Amino acid sequence: MYRRVVVKLGTGVLTKGTRFLSQPQMVELARQIATLHHQGKDVIVCTSGAQAAGRAQLDFPDLPANLSNRQMLAAVGQSRLMRLWERFFDIYGIYAGQILLTRADTENRQRFLNARDTFNAMLEYRIVPVVNENDAVAVEEIKVGDNDNLSALVAVLTDADLLLLLTDQAGLFTADPRTDPHAQLIPEVHAIDDSLRALAGSSQSGLGIGGMSTKLQAADIACRAGTEVVIAAGSAPDVIVRAVTGQSVGTRFPAQETPLESRKRWILAGPAPSGRLLVDAGAARALQHHGHSLLPVGITEVEGVFERGDAVFVQKRNGPVLARGITRYSSDDLRRIRGCQSHEISERLGYGYGPVALHRNDMIVLE
Ligand code: GLU
């Protein structure tokens, strides 16, 4: 049902509420992820637990909870956390790769594109990306701060069609299930509005649902970008497999549109193009009638000055605008590789960002 999924695992899920990472629990989660991976799905793991692992590794030192101490714990724990994931994915013959991000990596356009290319390369080679915040270096200004929001950014970055937020609660409830016997699970949320935020926000005062506030923020970001969201209990049997195969678990937030529609809307509504690519008749045909990407070989001229990640127009010389899209190469780069075959790109530039100048998913072809 879903093809590309981000699974967010909170510290509480990985420790089962104890002070230690629970290895049996992590193996069980790895097993479920492996099942989906072997079915051909792309699974991206967003894992917490670095600080918890660091604290346990250092035998629970009595430290003030300031930023540098938390960063130290994360630095010690992150490598241990990753080692455990590697070991458990190994059981199922799966390679894992670590990606540590900060907010700055998703806000800067070039870094956004570079991070996206890395994720895509890993997924193409069937490597499971294991993501966490780069806590050891992330000062407050560049921090996302919590892995709920981080996982939503990863879902946007990777065009995931499902973000699964696993927690120690069965989902979103009408009241705090721990104290209110009448609390009911909300199976589906169609609008994240103020009353829902108030319900989740109360969790922080200890009344409502633990940590639901950042989960709603994450759900809001993801749903707007076309990713469906499910909040469910990490300990529920087969929860990842069930959620990803479309069975009803926890609380579901339907996406407002598909990731592709959302990206294309952003291209249309986004910043005005700062450059123009003139293309030959073959390239024009490939874009308009065959839904292909634009290759450097079809570009005859490059007008304007722009960076990788900027919006550009595509047209034939003296013709109407054919398309608008996000370029993978800067104007300087394109001037050097226009007209050449894609396999020559790295040779000409000394580096490469892939074979296409404009990918069809990053482009609106105008009628
Ligand atoms: N990045 C933190 C850690 O790995 C967790 C942050 C969170 O769970 O929201 O310890």
What CATH number is associated with residue 12? 3.40.1160.10
What CATH number is associated with residue 346? 2.30.130.10
Q: Which ligand 1 atom is nearest residue 147's CA?
A: 9
Q: Which residue has the tokens 């008749």?
A: 281
pLDDT at 205: 37
Considering the entire predicted model, what is its pTM? 0.87
State the first-to-last Cα distance of the chain, in angstroms, to the nearest integer. Answer: 31
pLDDT at 43: 98
What residue numbers bound the domain in which 229 lies?
4-257
- Asked whether the beta carbons of 268 and 364 are under 8 A apart, the reply is yes
Pocket of ligand 1 (CB under 6 A): 10-11, 48-51, 74, 132-133, 135, 146-147
| Structural domain ending residue among the three candidates 257, 283, 318 | 257
Residue 237 CA to ligand 1 centre (angstroms): 24
- Asked whether the beta carbons of 170 and 185 are under 8 A apart, the reply is yes
pLDDT at 227: 94
Same domain, 187 and 268: no
Residue 327 CA to ligand 1 centre (angstroms): 34
Count Cβ atoms below 10 Å from residue 146 Cβ, excluding itself: 17
3-state helix, strand, coil in the chain (%, to 5): 45, 20, 35
Positions of E strands within the chain: 4-9, 42-47, 96-101, 128-133, 162-167, 228-233, 251-253, 275-279, 299-304, 311-316, 321-326, 363-365
pLDDT at 107: 80
Q: Are strands 311-316 and 321-326 parallel, antiparallel or unpaired?
A: antiparallel
Same domain, 186 and 305: no
- Asked whether the beta carbons of 89 and 34 are under 8 A apart, the reply is yes
Instruction: Give the chain's domain count.
Output: 2
- pLDDT tens digits, 143-164: 888 899 999 999 999 999 999 9
Helix (H, G, I), strand (E, B) or coil at 112: helix
Q: Whose CA is nearest to atom 5 of ligand 1?
A: 48
Q: Which ligand 1 atom is nearest residue 73's CA?
A: 10
Same domain, 66 and 127: yes
| Structural domain ending residue among the three candidates 257, 281, 308 | 257
Residue 37 CA: distances (Å) to CA of 56, 167, 328, 350: 31, 22, 29, 34
pLDDT at 269: 74
| Structural domain ending residue among the three candidates 257, 283, 312 | 257
pLDDT at 177: 81
* Two structure tokens written together for 142: 């560049």
pLDDT at 210: 43
Residue 16 CA to ligand 1 centre (angstroms): 15
Mutate to test the pocket of ligand 1, among 8, 135, 215 (most ligand atoms within 8 A of CB): 135
Same domain, 196 and 287: no
Mutate to test the pocket of ligand 1, among 20, 102, 132 (most ligand atoms within 8 A of CB): 132
Same domain, 245 and 290: no
Same domain, 19 and 137: yes
For the chain, residues with pLDDT lower than 70 are 201-210, 367
